[in-house]
């Protein structure tokens, strides 16, 4: 599955390639999309014939109460270069489209391979929750200007109520734990971004310096829709823009981001114990979301030319 640090996908069986991206190891099987004589001429498209002879498949997966989507309706998932430099995800030769009708594609072949691996890893029933990178890419493709602005607004709101900035006054063990895990994050952003970050013991949050907010906003506004989508996912998961930004710049690992955003919960668990079916599920969900965002950040850093 894609949700771990190691991803093994069976996207065909002809060629195996190992991709090391950041701290995430991907082992994907690649296959040239030669499905039939009819499709064979359409594998490498030209700008004048953008859809070629491919059929398309709209992406609309509505899970039931158990989190299961429809039955798996395809045999193979792989990538197709729809036009030169643009890699689309294909299910049995049908190019996937998002809910708004846009192709599920990327200029980054490695990203498309990850998405195809998520689809190939599905069993008899499709589990949308087990395809976090698909979700991030789909959201970014369908992101309108209005929704993008709403994402930016939400990210700045997180900055004013950031988990890392809201400190406990007691017990002493928790206060010390917060200092150890959170102070380095504040120091990193303050130094590298040249901004002032305030902290408070007020549970209702604190207003950050307007100049700092403006600087963060200008930076976010200049980023790609995929970056904004991944950052929004990481930030909402961690309840912290500071953790999200540190993760995006590889200042911390996914494990460190987990420790930082679960600082108080893990401290309480030390005293009151782990609730099975609650804390373990929350940890797994947090890990999946942060790992998928971290993978996207790694791809953006490694192949910046694909995300202009």
Write out pLDDT tens, residues 55-99: 667 666 777 777 788 899 999 999 999 999 999 999 999 999 999
Is 60 exceeded by the pLDDT of residue 34?
no
CA angle, 30 as apex, 28 and 35 as ends, to 5°?
140
* Domain annotation for the chain: domains and CATH numbers: 1-34+73-126 (3.30.2180.10), 145-307 (1.10.3580.10)
pLDDT above 70 covers a percentage of the chain that reads 80
Higher model confidence: residue 237 or residue 8? 237
Cβ atoms of 158 and 239 within 8 Å: the answer is yes
pLDDT value of residue 67: 75
Higher model confidence: residue 274 or residue 296? 296
pLDDT value of residue 58: 67
pLDDT value of residue 16: 36
What is the bridge-based pairing of β-strands 94-97 and 55-58? parallel
Higher model confidence: residue 288 or residue 275? 288
Flag whether the pTM goes above 0.85.
no
């Amino acid at each position: 599955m894609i949700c771990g640090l190691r991803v093994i996908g069976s996207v065909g069986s002809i060629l195996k390639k190992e991709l090391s991206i950041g701290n995430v190891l991907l082992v994907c099987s690649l296959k040239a999309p030669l499905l039939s004589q009819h499709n064979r001429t359409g594998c490498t498209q030209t700008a004048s014939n953008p859809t070629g002879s491919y059929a398309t498949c709209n992406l609309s997966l509505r899970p039931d109460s158990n989190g299961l989507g429809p039955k798996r309706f395809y045999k193979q998932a792989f990538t197709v270069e729809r036009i030169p430099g643009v890699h689309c995800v294909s299910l049995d030769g049908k190019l996937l489209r998002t809910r708004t009708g846009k192709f599920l594609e990327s200029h980054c072949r490695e990203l498309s391979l990850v998405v195809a691996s998520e689809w190939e890893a599905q069993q008899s029933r499709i589990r949308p929750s087990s395809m976090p990178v698909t979700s991030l890419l789909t959201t970014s493709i369908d992101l309108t200007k209005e929704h993008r602005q709403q994402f930016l607004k939400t990210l700045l709101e997180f900055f004013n109520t950031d988990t890392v900035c809201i400190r406990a006054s007691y017990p002493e063990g928790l206060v010390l734990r917060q200092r150890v895990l959170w102070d380095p994050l504040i120091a990193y952003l303050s130094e590298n971004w040249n901004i002032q970050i305030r902290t408070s013991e007020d549970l209702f949050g604190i207003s950050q310096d307007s100049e700092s907010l403006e600087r963060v906003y200008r930076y976010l506004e200049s980023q790609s829709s995929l970056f904004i989508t991944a950052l929004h996912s990481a930030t909402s998961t961690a309840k912290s823009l500071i953790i999200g930004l540190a993760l995006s710049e590889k200042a911390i690992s996914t494990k460190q981001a987990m420790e930082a955003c679960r600082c108080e919960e893990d401290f309480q668990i030390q005293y009151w114990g782990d609730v099975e079916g609650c804390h373990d599920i929350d940890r797994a969900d947090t890990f999946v979301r942060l790992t998928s965002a971290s993978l996207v950040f790694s791809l953006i850093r490694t192949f910046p030319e694909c995300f202009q």
